Amino acid sequence: MASQRWTGRPGFPYDRSRILVGLKKDRMNDTSMALPAAIRLSGVNLSLGHDAARVHILKNIDLHIGTGEAVGLIGPSGSGKSTLLMVAAGLERPDTGQVHVAGQDLGKLDEDALARFRGRHVGIVFQSFHLIPTMTALENVAVPLELAGAADAFDRAAQELAAVGLGARVSHYPAQLSGGEQQRVALARALAPHPAILVADEPTGNLDEATGREIVELLFAGHEKRGTTLVLVTHDPSLAKRCDRTVRLRSGHIERAEQDA
C-alpha cells in the first residue's frame, strides 16, 4: 500500500553514492548540507524532570541530516545522545525549537498524527530490544504493520523475519530467543514498514561482539539497499567509522561534526 512504500521524501530517487563522491571531490566540509534533509533540528532545547531534579538536557541543538546519510551519534554517557535520538524520532517533543523529519514539521502534528507518522516513516531500534513479551516474533513484527494499515501484514512480517535469518523462529516468544535473535526481530519490526529513517540507540550494547557484528551488517544492509537514512548512537568506534560522519555530543551541546571518509 502507498503509505507503506512511501517514496515522497524530498529528492527521491537519486544516486546517493554519486552525490557523496562528487561532494567529497569538492572538499565540502559537511556533505549533509547539500542533501535534502531527512532530519532537521533547529534551536532545540529540552529539559526533563521536575523541580530540583530538572535537567537541561539538550542545549540549542542545530542538526541537519541528509536523506540517505548514515550518521553516528557519539559522546560520553549522560551527554544527551538518547534524548536527541528520541527528539529526532518524534518520541519526545522539545521545549523550544523545531524538528522536521522527511519534510514534516513534527510540531504541527497532534499525538495521534505523530504516532501515525512515526509508524510509517521512522523505524526505531533500542539497546534492550523492547519486544512485546506476550507476542510471538511474527506478531511483534506484523502488529505494527497492521496498525499502519498494511493488508498483508503477516505475510510481509514473515518475509522481514526471513530476511534477518529468523524464518524458522516466527512462532517463538521473545523469552525463547537469544539476545541477538531478539534484536533481529526488533530490526525486522523497525524495517518492515520501509521507513525513510531508521534510528538505533546502542543497538549492539547488550550483545556479544560477534552477534553485534551481525546486527550491524543487517542495519547497514537496510541503509545501503533501501537508501534508509540511519542515525546510530554508539560507543563502538568501528561502528562509528562505518557511518558517513559522526556527530559528537557533550553536556547537551553538539561539540563538533567530523567527516569520516
Cell digits for 71? 550518521
17: three-class secondary structure by DSSP: helix
Sequence-separated (6 or more) residues with CB below 8 Å from residue 75: 81, 248, 249, 250, 255
**Closer to Mg ion by Cβ: residue 63 or 142:** 63
**Residue 83 engages Mg ion in binding (rule: CB under 5 A):** no
Q: How many residues bind ligand ADP (CB under 6 A)?
A: 12
**Residue 79 engages Mg ion in binding (rule: CB under 5 A):** no
**Residue 82 engages Mg ion in binding (rule: CB under 5 A):** yes
User: What whole-number distance in Å separates Cα of residue 187 and Cα of residue 126?
Assistant: 9
**Residue 48 engages ligand ADP in binding (rule: CB under 6 A):** yes
80 binds, among Mg ion, ligand ADP, none (CB under 5 to 8 A by kind): ligand ADP
Instruction: Figure out which of the listed residues 16, 81, 223, 245 binds ligand ADP, where binding follows CB under 6 A.
Output: 81
Closest CA to 142 of 155, 125, 123, 129: 155
256: three-class secondary structure by DSSP: strand
Tell me how far, at minimum, the Cβ of 242 lies from ligand ADP, in Å: 20
Sequence-separated (6 or more) residues with CB below 8 Å from residue 126: 186, 200, 201, 203
Considering only the stretches 47-55, 183-191, 205-213, 237-245, report the one whose residues sit in contact with ligand ADP under the rule CB under 6 A. Answer: 47-55
For ligand ADP, the nearest residue by Cβ is 49
Cell digits for 199? 534510528
Tell me how far, at minimum, the Cβ of 201 lies from Mg ion, in Å: 6
Binding footprint of ligand ADP on the chain (CB under 6 A): 48-49, 55, 57, 75, 77-83
Binding footprint of Mg ion on the chain (CB under 5 A): 82
